[in-house]
Amino acid sequence: MKLVRWLAVIAIVLFLALVAGVLGLNAWLDSAGGRATLERQLSAAAGVPVLLPDDFDVVLWPPVGASGSDLRVLDSVGGEVVARSRSFSIELAPRPLINRELRAESVRLEWLALGPPGGASFAVPKIEISGFEPGRATGLQIDLGLLGEVSGFFSWFPRSARVDLDLRYSVPEHDDIELAVSAGYGAESIGLDELVVRIGGQQLSGQGCVLLGGPELNLSLEAETLDLEALMNAMPSGPGTPSAGLPLEVNLSLEAKTLYRGGVRAEDAVFELGAPPRCP
């Protein structure tokens, strides 16, 4: 009987210690110290300052994480807000919490607005990032609402302000678009290098940029052989202009050694849409 009582006492002590630890962890996460630690971890991972100015809720099980109503990404040079999420939720790895260390395993951002406050911007309904670790492939899901969804992987290199993307863009009743690109980001633009696009059974390659102030997409692409009508029909906007229905201006220069359009064939052809592409 004594053994049973001792086991009961030990169980109660362990339970109380666990409760005290959980309550202490909750208080720390909910405090200014926990917020500052989480901001530092997210900033280090992103390579740019990240702020959580509003109160957030802590969830200890399951899974361990935090959620809130405001997440801001700042320009590391000027300190201006370049992106802002209306709400966020972060899943934390449980083991590092024992040492009061934070590591985000997944992040979900809702209504992420890209662009400076008061300027032109566009909002993404939802972004989910899973298995995040700088320099390694990370899962990505982007909900674009009526414009479709993006899925795939990215590898983030914060020291060089670069992200490598391998993505698939899906829109109902249209062919998927596959995209591979190395993107260097800054406060005013995103550079697109080593760009490869596969759509409608055709492949294009080149480079370009996104100017965030517009926003404006600029692309210079080339292909060995290109069927222009098949390409236009495969675009999410349908057989019209590729920029139709998109929340940004599109400037495109497309070169093909052999270009088909209907029954017409042209050699060393150039197709242009909008203004000539311009990048910093």
Over 64-81, what HEC string results?
CEEEECCEEEECCCCCCE
Q: What is the mean pLDDT of residues 257-276?
A: 85
Q: Are 65 and 92 in contact (CB under 8 A)?
A: yes
Task: Note every long-range contact of 259-265, with CB atoms under 8 Å and residues 24 or more positions apart, other chains counting.
Answer: 259/225, 259/226, 259/228, 260/225, 260/226, 260/227, 260/228, 260/229, 261/227, 261/228, 261/229, 262/229
Is the per-residue pLDDT at 15 higher than 70?
A: no
Q: Average of pLDDT values for 165-194?
A: 86
How far apart are the two ends of the chain, measured CA to CA in Å? 80
Q: pLDDT tens across 96-154, in order? A: 665 656 666 788 888 888 766 666 566 788 888 887 677 788 888 988 887 788 899 98
H or E element in which residue 217 lies = strand 216-227
Q: Label each residue of 160-208 as H, E or C.
A: HCEEEEEEEEECCCCCCEEEEEEEEECCCEEEEEEEEEEECCEEEEEEE
Question: pLDDT band for position 260 (50/70/90)?
Answer: confident
- For residue 41 the two structure tokens come to 């971890």
Higher-pLDDT residue of 276 and 30 is 276
Better pLDDT: 150 or 243: 150
Strand 56-59, strand 65-68: pairing: antiparallel
Averaged over 6-33, what is the pLDDT?
A: 38
Q: Could you give the CA distance from residue 26 to residue 11 in angstroms, rounded to a whole number?
A: 22
Cα separation, 273 vs 128, in Å, equals 33
Tell me which residue has tokens 């971890």: 41
Is 60 exceeded by the pLDDT of residue 68? yes
pLDDT of residue 19: 30
d(CA 85, CA 73) in angstroms, rounded, equals 9
Res. 205 pLDDT band, cuts 50 70 90: very high
Q: What average pLDDT does the segment 166-188 reach?
A: 85
Q: How far apart are CA 250 and CA 210, in angstroms?
A: 9
Q: What share of the chain in percent tops pLDDT 70? A: 71
Q: Which residue stretches of the chain are H helix?
A: 2-30, 32-46, 94-97, 228-234
Sequence-distant (6+) residues with CB within 8 A of 64 are 91, 92, 93, 94, 97
Residues 229-257, mean pLDDT to the nearest whole number:
69
Confidence band of 182 (pLDDT split at 50, 70, 90): very high
79 close to 51: Cβ distance less than 8 angstroms: no
Is the pTM for the entire model greater than 0.85? no
User: What band does 164 get if pLDDT is binned at 50, 70 and 90?
Assistant: very high
